[in-house]
């Protein structure tokens, strides 16, 4: 009886997670494919959202482009907090500290609730002021208010969807994480035309309908994520009975997560000021930037999915003190990302016009957009390695290096260079700022990857793969 108890009880507690023993190629493929696919689906519904809205008018499309910084900020808080929790939970799993795993997950829920309160307040009181700071166009302000206020007030959907995805990812359950995201995305895809154009007896709601479709999909994803964590994610138990708030756990979450939040939020600052630069040429240029970010997600999101799979693998094996598995994950991840991004660059170079036509592009939009897409996509050649290497920094607890990389690329290099190029009066020159910024980022991450490998990875105990 005692032996059976040990086999069924205690031994099941100490059984090693697959991240500690499964061959890296197989493991990374198994964990990354669902994430890459779900991120790709996410890209599809983001693009389709804009495609449908572009049928309303170019002003409506511009309003969505101007909404992007705040939407991105919401996602930055969700994903950044999740990265911190993911890394911490995976490390505790590697150390076999189950009580710390559960406490970290419970603290994460509290942090997401506090984040939602802030975004809801913005949605109720500050959206109108936000749009008036960018444009005097009454129609764009109207569309912007309809869309962004809805997104912010119901942002608990995206916050908790990401929270539960990250908890599943931290234990290697990326297939279930994919189901959450795909469900929300498909609902959005189905509801978008229905809500925007008033199909099947629904009222025609225009831009606000696009927002409602988005938040409905996110809330559904969050509910499914909660159920999956309770029913399937047995390595983590979220609970508040006898819960004691521990600032040391919050500190550890944000040691990795806060730099990630800032890093992702910097994208919001960058887009806001890039809009300021581009609007000196035309509102169409602003719309093009929005389209560009929607389209480039097809290239970036699969790589972000790959990098998200790398984080728990690297963090787990760092906790388990296995440097060879860490190095193998980095090598395979960077190689895979480079192949993916090269395919994306070819699509942008040869099908730029076709991509823009999807957004009901006017002649002026085509004239500006084709050059923009072809020029900016050349910078993507450096992005694959940069994204995966940043995930290495995060997994090993070096979040502030990842933060500085983002600051360097988007604020120190991109904005000043783009502004200087804009002084020429030629819009086509402005797009080259992206290439210069990504090249600088590429050099930076390779330097620090070599440094961290020497100082941190090399000095841990080596184990057999």
Question: pTM surpassing 0.85?
Answer: no
> Is residue 7 a contact partner of residue 147, using CB atoms and an 8 Å limit?
no
Cα(188)–Cα(211) distance, rounded to whole angstroms? 9
Cα(405)–Cα(385) distance, rounded to whole angstroms? 13
Contacts of residue 432, Cβ cutoff 8 Å, sequence gap at least 6: 375, 417, 421
- The residue written with tokens 């609730």 in the block is 113
Compute the chain's Rg from CA coordinates.
22
- What's the helix, strand, coil split of the chain in %, to 5? 85, 0, 15
Predicted pLDDT at 464: 44
Contacts of residue 31, Cβ cutoff 8 Å, sequence gap at least 6: 169, 172, 174, 309, 312, 313
Element (H, E) at 424: none
| Eight-class DSSP state of 378 | H
Predicted pLDDT at 154: 97
For residue 347, report the phi and psi dihedrals to the nearest 5 degrees.
Answer: -65, -45
* Six token digits for residue 93: 């799993």
Predicted pLDDT at 16: 61
What is the biggest distance separating any 2 CA atoms in the chain, rounded to whole angstroms?
82
Burial of 279 (0-12, 13-18, 19+ CB in 10 A): middle
Residue in 371, 375, 346 with CA at minimum distance from that of residue 436: 375
In terms of phi and psi (left: phi > 0; alpha: psi -120 to 50; beta: otherwise), the region of 460 is: beta
Contacts of residue 367, Cβ cutoff 8 Å, sequence gap at least 6: none
Residue in 221, 259, 260, 297 with CA at minimum distance from that of residue 68: 297
Query: What Cα–Cα distance (Å) separates residue 291 from each residue in 133, 218, 228?
Result: 21, 22, 34
pLDDT averaged per 10 residues in sequence order, the chain, 465 residues: 40 57 81 76 74 91 90 90 86 83 89 96 96 92 96 96 89 82 87 94 94 94 93 86 86 84 84 93 92 87 85 83 86 92 95 93 93 96 92 82 88 96 96 96 94 85 50
Cα(270)–Cα(419) distance, rounded to whole angstroms? 12
Query: What Cα–Cα distance (Å) separates residue 93 from each residue in 15, 46, 234, 248?
Result: 11, 34, 12, 18
């Amino acid at each position: 009886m005692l032996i059976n108890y040990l086999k069924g009880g205690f031994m099941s507690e100490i059984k090693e997670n697959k991240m500690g023993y499964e061959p890296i190629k197989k493991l990374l493929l198994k964990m990354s494919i669902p994430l890459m696919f779900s991120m790709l689906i996410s890209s599809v519904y983001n693009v389709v959202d804009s495609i449908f809205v572009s049928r309303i008018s170019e002003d409506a499309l511009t309003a969505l482009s101007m909404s992007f910084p705040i939407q991105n900020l919401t996602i930055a808080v969700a994903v950044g907090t999740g990265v911190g929790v993911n890394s911490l939970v995976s490390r505790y799993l590697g150390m076999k500290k189950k009580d710390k795993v559960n406490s970290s997950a419970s603290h994460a829920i509290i942090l997401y609730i506090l984040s939602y309160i802030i975004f809801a307040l913005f949605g109720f009181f500050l959206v109108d002021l936000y749009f008036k700071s960018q444009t005097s166009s009454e129609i764009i302000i109207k569309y912007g208010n309809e869309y962004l206020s809805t997104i912010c007030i119901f942002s608990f959907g995206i916050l908790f969807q990401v929270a539960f995805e990250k908890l599943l990812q931290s234990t290697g359950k990326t297939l279930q994480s994919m189901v959450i995201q795909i469900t929300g995305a498909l609902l959005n895809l189905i509801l978008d035309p229905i809500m925007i154009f008033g199909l099947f007896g629904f009222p025609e709601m225009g831009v606000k309908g696009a927002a409602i479709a988005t938040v409905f999909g996110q809330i559904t994803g969050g509910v499914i994520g909660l159920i999956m964590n309770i029913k399937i994610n047995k390595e983590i138990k979220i609970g508040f009975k006898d819960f004691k708030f521990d600032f040391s756990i919050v500190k550890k979450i944000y040691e990795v997560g806060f730099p990630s939040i800032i890093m992702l939020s910097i994208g919001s600052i960058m887009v806001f000021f890039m809009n300021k630069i581009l609007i000196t040429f035309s509102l169409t240029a602003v719309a093009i930037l929005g389209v560009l970010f929607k389209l480039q997600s097809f290239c970036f999101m699969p790589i972000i999915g790959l990098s998200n799979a790398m984080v728990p693998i690297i963090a787990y094996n760092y906790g388990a003190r296995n440097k060879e598995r860490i190095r193998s994950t980095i090598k395979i991840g960077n190689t895979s990302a480079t192949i993916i991004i090269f395919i994306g660059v070819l699509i942008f170079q040869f099908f730029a016009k076709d991509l823009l036509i999807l957004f009901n592009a006017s002649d002026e939009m085509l004239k500006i957009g084709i050059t923009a897409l072809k020029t900016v996509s050349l910078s993507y050649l450096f992005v694959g390695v940069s994204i995966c290497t940043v995930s290495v920094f995060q997994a090993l607890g070096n979040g502030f290096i990842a933060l500085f990389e983002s600051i360097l690329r988007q604020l120190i290099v991109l904005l000043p260079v783009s502004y200087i190029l804009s002084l020429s009066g030629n819009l086509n020159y402005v797009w080259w700022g992206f290439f210069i910024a990504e090249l600088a980022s590429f050099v930076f991450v390779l330097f620090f990857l070599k440094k961290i490998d020497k100082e941190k990875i090399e000095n841990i105990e080596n184990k057999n793969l």
